[in-house]
Amino acid sequence: MNNQETTKEIDRRGFLRSTAAAGAGLAFAPMVTSRAASAKPDDINIALLGAGAEGQVLMTAILKIPGIRFKAVCDIWTAWNQKRVSRTLKAYRHPVNTYVDYQDMLAKEKDLDAVIIATPDFWHAPHTVACLEAGLHVYCEKEMSNTLDGAKQMLEAAKKTGKLLQIGHQRRSNPRYRHCYDKLIEGSKLLGKITTVNGQWNRSKAACEPLGWPKNAPIDQPTLKKYGFESMDQFRNWRWFKGLGGGPIVDLGSHQIDIYSWFLGTHPKAVMASGGVDYWKDNDWYDNVMAIYEYDLGDRTVRAFYQTITTNSANGYFETFMGDEGTLQISEASGRGTVYRESWVPAENWEKWTKMGYIAEPEKEEEEAKPAADTVLDVRETPKPPSYDIPVTMENKPYHMPHLENFFDAVRGKAELNCPAQVGYETAVSVLKVNDAIAAGKKLEFSAADFAV
């Protein structure tokens, strides 16, 4: 490398260090000496740690974001994950170095700014802590960790090093969710007093079948054992094994339970839950869970139901927030999202919000056939409430892309993280308690100390 390239790279790293510090209000540890030049001062050099299905989803979204340069890929499945991802990146003009061991990668890659972690949950804490201590910013997929001790280690490392740590609860950056929170929940208080919440993530049997692998490309047994797996089956289906993942309530439910606390503006005060290994008999974790949270909003208790099942996909996944004046049903699925006005609330009360673009006027529906004059309706029947649209879309972006953009903007000092380590930790406390409640067979209480580190 010539002197001009060295100066250029140091200037780039210095630029990112100073802007990120300004954006986060933090003092960063000294950056390591770099060894490669970037095209622009605010380009960000990254490594992908964990190149499986989730890592590939993140990679695809990142490739649509300007100014991000992949430099390395680390994955223990060299014959499949590592090979496929490195070839894809090369095709997109991101030639990368490949690694099996993350410590080897951190020792050799001297021009990284950040690491994207998409490894199994039980590796999140050691991977994140090592990357933070190496002076790198981290985007780590949810769940933050499969244990609260691991999540605490991650949070403490972020505080100690002053590096940015974004947890991958991507709805926190989804423009539709942010619009609903900012404009409907907080701004207009369109729902009135929220009294009840429910949500679900139902997956079909076909989507939950055990994952296989090409028989000509297994990971050798010594490598599997070194990285915490007893077999290829366990490596491929780690989410179902205790000590590795947390089952569907953690894998799926954490996304939505995180939204419960965000939109309600508080942590749960208690949870009770029922679940079991009732269908997928070879798994460790519960294949179905039904949980009820209690939230204290001062003048009232809000109860929030959540369900996840793995045998039927009816109605997919969504969250519903019900207030005494209206209802919001929202989903990350792009085609779902409606606001309902309680029929007793005058239509003119919502007109100003349509004029301000908070909600969109419902399309005119054909008038339903009226019953005969002598027809007696059931006195308990409630008319269908008028519906309104959410006038914000994802603009055809992949679901993870806005959250990744927020992370990279924070690295550049242009934004604050939408899901920093403290928020990720608080969500982990709320979610991991569900499995504890099922095992205990009773309602478990939360304390304020549970959410503090």
Cβ(22)–Cβ(413) below 8 Å = yes
CA–CA separation, 238 and 375 (whole Å): 59
Q: Which domain holds residue 252?
A: 174-395+421-451
Q: Is 102 exposed, middle or buried (0-12, 13-18, 19+ CB in 10 A)?
A: buried
Range in 32-46, 59-73, 113-127, 189-203 the model is least confident about: 32-46
- Domain identity same for 165 and 179: no
Tell me, what amino acid is at 339? V
The pLDDT, as a whole number, for residue 178 is: 98
The pLDDT, as a whole number, for residue 231 is: 98
CA–CA separation, 303 and 294 (whole Å): 5
Q: What is the pTM of this model?
A: 0.91
- Is residue 153 in a domain? yes
User: What CATH number does residue 128 fall under?
Assistant: 3.40.50.720
- Is residue 289 in a domain? yes
The per-residue pLDDT for range 305-338, each reduced to its tens digit, is 999 999 999 999 999 999 999 999 999 987 889 9
- Domain identity same for 300 and 316: yes
Instruction: Read off the tokens for 25.
Output: 């209000």
- Domain identity same for 66 and 208: no
Q: How far apart are the first and last CA of the chain?
A: 44
Evaluated on CA atoms 181, 182, 184, 186, the torsion sign reads positive
pLDDT at 269 over 60: yes
- Domain identity same for 220 and 341: yes
Domains held by the chain: number: 2
User: What CATH number does residue 433 fall under?
Assistant: 3.30.360.10
Give me the mean pLDDT over the 164-192 stretch: 98
The pLDDT, as a whole number, for residue 30 is: 31
- Is residue 409 in a domain? no
- Domain identity same for 322 and 335: yes
The per-residue pLDDT for range 346-374, each reduced to its tens digit, is 999 999 999 999 999 977 654 455 555 55
CA-closest candidate to residue 38, choices 75, 62, 76, 11 = 11
pLDDT at 37 over 90: no
Helix (H, G, I), strand (E, B) or coil at 73: strand
- Domain identity same for 167 and 63: yes
pLDDT at 161 over 50: yes
- Domain identity same for 82 and 208: no
